[in-house]
Structure 1
Amino acid sequence: MPQLSVPFMTIGLLLASNIFMTFAWYGHLKFKSAPLFAVIFISWGIAFFEYLLQVPANRIGHGHYNAAQLKTIQEVITLTVFVAFSYFYLKEPLTAKTLIGFAFIGVGAWFIFSK
């Protein structure tokens, strides 16, 4: 079986972990009638799986990427996952203002990775 590259494994694990974390942090917003106590514990349970992916992603990626680059990758993935989540799951509109703000964050990411 061929060995997966460090960037592929790192980004793939970070993507998967961010999907779990987005649901842990924001998934309960569709269930506002559920008791807060219950959604906190459900969110913790979901976040456990996020940690099972996030920690190995950072461990695998560190060395190929520095810590600032790993955090930047994670933040860009977080915003990408969040945009899709808020639009498709929460049914919230994407505004030009939001997309422009996220684009500025993307420019910041470009600076982190530029030589």
Structure 2
Amino acid sequence: MPTIILLILSNLFMTTAWYWHLKGGMNKPLMLVILISWAIAFVEYCLAVPANRIGFAHGWSAGQLKIAQEAIALVIFGIFMVTVLGEPLHWRHAAAFACIMAAVGFLFVGRS
């Protein structure tokens, strides 16, 4: 459970680092946006690295950690896209999410 919680928190920071400037920050100088994004991404790394170490120590494979992170990232980005950027969800988003969830299922099937 700590792995999932840390991955969720890290993805909140990374999504913010990558996309915050698209809404209201487009008039800021690019170098400033990059520096702010790096500062936000530093927090993401401080959460993602322990998440991966804890998960690996508890028997998750690297592939399982990565696909879980991608699934979490997709959910968080979907929420961010709608709530912060004001973009609508379409059936394509649901289809992409279903594909990622299928990948998660394939990697976790038979995991003891």
TM-score band by shorter chain is over 0.9
Match of 1:42 among 36, 40, 46: 36
Q: Find the counterpart in structure 1 of residue 19 from structure 2.
A: 26
Q: Find the counterpart in structure 1 of residue 104 from structure 2.
A: 109
The alignment covers a number of residue pairs equal to: 108
- State the shift of 1:20 in Å: 0.2
Cα distance in 2 between the residues matched to 1:101 and 1:49: 28
Q: Does 1:17 align with 2:10?
A: yes
Q: Find the counterpart in structure 1 of residue 69 from structure 2.
A: 74
1:65 match: secondary structure:
coil
Gaps of 5+ in 2: none
Counterpart amino acid of residue 79 in structure 1: L
Which string of whole-angstrom CA distances, capped at 9 and with x for unpartnered residues, describes residues 36-90 of structure 1?
1110000000000001100011111103211110111101100010000000011
- State the shift of 1:98 in Å: 1.8
Q: Find the counterpart in structure 2 of residue 4 from structure 1.
A: none
Cα distance in 2 between the residues matched to 1:101 and 1:71: 16
**TM-score of the aligned structures, taking structure 2 as reference length:** 0.93
Percent identity of equivalent pairs: 50
Q: Does 1:60 align with 2:54?
A: yes
1:62 match: secondary structure:
helix
Gaps of 5+ in 1: 1-7
**TM-score of the aligned structures, taking structure 1 as reference length:** 0.90
Cα distance in 1 between the residues matched to 2:104 and 2:70: 9
